[in-house]
């Protein structure tokens, strides 16, 4: 742009012009880097796609960032009640930072387009619908030159991972800033622990182990569909219960432990073998196992164990640990935050053996991930977590597929798998059919390890 450009040109006009230049260059077969960002003295507009609890929380974190003006201007969901509740909650907390009149509240499967159309290049869209829709929405966000925050997981199977990896490359070429809701990667305590491990304070890494063992959680278990509700809307409402919508309890709940352990190892595992089962089901008709136990193996032979369980009356634990040749450590021990990171000088994790502990209070990683994303946008610094988010999602799905098929699953096996859980998710309509159907007794297909060796259901 010429230095003589009128200083009063609006950000919208400037970025629209930049977008047209980039589009023309692309048509000519020439790729030029775009500097899609919001200037320090201008308001960043935000649209929320998926107004459930996680989406509402993400929007609140976005509006809490302190390094420049930011405003929520549009919301989309397929459930009007969720949209109303989310809007009211955010409005009550943030007042005039929320400017979402009735004509910028969109209900329906095409609402994501309408909400994103309310933004300008360089603004931010929050993608917090069930993961099945992630690649669809990310595709449109890239077309609109929007920066993105998307919730984890970002994929549920091989085909959607391949799509997301391709989209990640495209978003990097366009200099878009993309955050993925694996907020533990932004935790200061875990970050210092990672550095200490890299510096050899506990020696060579020998073993990692994670646990997310709780009672029934969110929508993981669900009973028969109400007669007055459509099949599709029921499955979206109870998305944790259906593998196509969420990757099930394994993908949605275990990914954080898996990702933070892989971070400490600084590698992704190359294969998984796993077991699990359905136990006390009652009238529940979801597709999940009640318990999962997975052994991941890294390229150097190091093992990582992940145990997940959703059963009443059992031992509960939400933690990740690491063991080295000279010592051991707690990666997290109180859920996601605070992490309570600690290192020990041997394998006995007792007070007298404490080597290091991050001092409280810990900054909230849910807020830090947004502080970092907005800073990258305003300062136009490279920032894109889309590839790493897809890889973390694939590694998580690898363990789930191993449990559901009863086979050893390698990284390349699931990446190249052709079983796409919801191949026509971009064509769903409010009154249309669901990706899977219940049998005559109202139950849905469940994994059968050893009987179905190549597909999860």
> HEC string of 286-347?
CCCCCEEEEEEECCCCCEEEEEEEECCCCCCEEEEEEEECCCEEEEECECECCCCCEEECCC
Task: Based on the fold, state whether residues 201 and 297 are members of the same structural domain.
Answer: yes
pTM, whole model, 2 decimals?
Answer: 0.90
How far apart are alpha carbons 128 and 115 in whole angstroms?
13
Question: What are the tokens at 425?
Answer: 């998710």
Q: Is residue 45 part of a domain?
A: yes
Look up the domain containing 109 and give its range. Answer: 11-184+370-384
Among the listed residues 39, 173, 62, the one whose alpha carbon sits nearest the alpha carbon of residue 126: 62
173, pLDDT greater than 70: yes
Domain CATH number, residue 304: 3.30.360.10
Task: Based on the fold, state whether residues 339 and 284 are members of the same structural domain.
Answer: yes
Task: Based on the fold, state whether residues 18 and 128 are members of the same structural domain.
Answer: yes
How far apart are alpha carbons 77 and 105 in whole angstroms?
8
Task: Based on the fold, state whether residues 58 and 169 are members of the same structural domain.
Answer: yes
Task: Based on the fold, state whether residues 282 and 416 are members of the same structural domain.
Answer: yes
Q: Look at residue 249 and give its three-state secondary structure.
A: helix
Task: Based on the fold, state whether residues 265 and 408 are members of the same structural domain.
Answer: yes
Please name every residue paired with 205 in a beta bridge, in sequence order, or none if there are none: 324
Contact predicate 454/419, CB 8 Å = yes
Contact predicate 251/400, CB 8 Å = yes
Query: Where does the pLDDT of residue 453 fall: very low under 50, low under 70, confident under 90, or very high at 90 and above?
Result: very high
pLDDT in tens, 380-427: 999 999 999 999 999 999 999 999 999 999 999 999 999 999 999 999
Task: Based on the fold, state whether residues 282 and 378 are members of the same structural domain.
Answer: no
Query: Where does the pLDDT of residue 41 fall: very low under 50, low under 70, confident under 90, or very high at 90 and above?
Result: low
Q: Is residue 436 part of a domain?
A: no
Q: Is residue 46 part of a domain?
A: yes
Q: Is residue 125 part of a domain?
A: yes
Contact predicate 401/453, CB 8 Å = no
Contact predicate 425/136, CB 8 Å = yes
Domain CATH number, residue 30: 3.40.50.720
Q: Is residue 96 part of a domain?
A: yes
How far apart are alpha carbons 197 and 133 in whole angstroms?
37
Task: Based on the fold, state whether residues 161 and 220 are members of the same structural domain.
Answer: no
Task: Based on the fold, state whether residues 148 and 191 are members of the same structural domain.
Answer: no
257, pLDDT greater than 90: yes
Among the listed residues 319, 315, 320, 321, the one whose alpha carbon sits nearest the alpha carbon of residue 348: 321
Better-predicted residue by pLDDT, 317 or 33 = 317
Q: Is residue 452 part of a domain?
A: no
User: How many domains is the chain built from?
Assistant: 2
Q: Which of 356, 384, 412 finishes a domain?
A: 384
Task: Based on the fold, state whether residues 268 and 174 are members of the same structural domain.
Answer: no
Q: Is residue 446 part of a domain?
A: no
Task: Based on the fold, state whether residues 45 and 130 are members of the same structural domain.
Answer: yes
Task: Based on the fold, state whether residues 133 and 205 are members of the same structural domain.
Answer: no
Q: What are phi and psi of 107, to 5 degrees?
A: -110, 130
Q: Is residue 2 part of a domain?
A: no
Stretch 170-191: mean pLDDT, rounded? Answer: 98
């Amino acid at each position: 742009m010429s230095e003589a450009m009128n200083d009063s040109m609006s950000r919208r006009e400037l970025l629209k012009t930049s977008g047209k230049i980039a589009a023309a260059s692309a048509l000519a077969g020439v790729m030029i880097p775009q500097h899609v960002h919001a200037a320090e003295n201008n308001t960043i507009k935000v649209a929320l796609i998926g107004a459930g609890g996680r989406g509402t929380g993400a929007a609140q974190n976005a509006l809490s960032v302190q390094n420049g003006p930011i405003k929520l201007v549009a919301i989309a969901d397929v459930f009007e009640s969720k949209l109303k509740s989310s809007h009211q909650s955010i409005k009550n907390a943030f007042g005039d930072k929320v400017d979402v009149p009735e004509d910028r509240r969109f209900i329906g499967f095409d609402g994501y387009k309408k909400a994103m159309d309310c933004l300008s290049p360089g603004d931010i869209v929050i993608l917090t619908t069930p993961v099945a829709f992630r690649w669809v929405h990310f595709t449109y966000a890239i077309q609109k030159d929007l920066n993105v925050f998307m919730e984890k997981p970002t994929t549920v199977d091989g085909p959607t991972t391949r799509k997301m990896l391709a989209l990640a490359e495209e978003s990097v070429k366009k200099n878009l800033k993309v955050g993925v809701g694996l907020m533990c990667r932004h935790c200061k305590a875990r970050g210092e622990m990672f550095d200490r491990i890299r510096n050899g304070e506990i020696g060579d890494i020998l073993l990692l182990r994670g646990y997310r063992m709780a009672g029934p959680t969110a929508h993981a278990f669900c009973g028969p569909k109400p007669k007055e509700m459509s099949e599709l809307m029921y499955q979206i409402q109870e998305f944790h219960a259906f593998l196509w919508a969420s990757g099930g309890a394994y993908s949605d709940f275990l990914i954080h432990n898996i990702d933070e352990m892989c971070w400490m190892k600084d590698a992704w595992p190359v294969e998984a073998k796993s077991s699990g089962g359905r136990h006390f089901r009652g009238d529940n008709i979801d597709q999940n196992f009640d318990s999962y136990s997975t052994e991941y193996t890294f390229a150097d032979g190091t093992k990582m164990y992940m145990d997940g369980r959703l059963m009443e009356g059992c031992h509960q634990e939400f933690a990740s640990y690491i063991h080295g040749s000279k010592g051991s450590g707690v990666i997290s021990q109180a859920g996601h935050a605070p992490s309570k990171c600690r290192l020990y000088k041997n394998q006995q994790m007792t007070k007298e053996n404490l080597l290091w502990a991050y001092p409280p209070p810990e900054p909230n990683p849910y807020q830090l991930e947004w502080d970092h994303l907005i800073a990258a946008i305003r300062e136009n610094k490279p920032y894109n977590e889309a590839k790493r988010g897809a890889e973390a999602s694939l590694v998580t799905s690898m363990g789930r597929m191993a449990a559901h098929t009863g086979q050893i699953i390698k990284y390349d096996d699931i990446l190249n798998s052709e079983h796409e859980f919801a191949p026509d998710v971009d064509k769903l309509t409010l009154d249309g059919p669901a990706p899977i159907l219940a049998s005559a007794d109202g139950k849905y297909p469940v994994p059968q390890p050893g009987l179905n060796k190549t597909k999860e259901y």
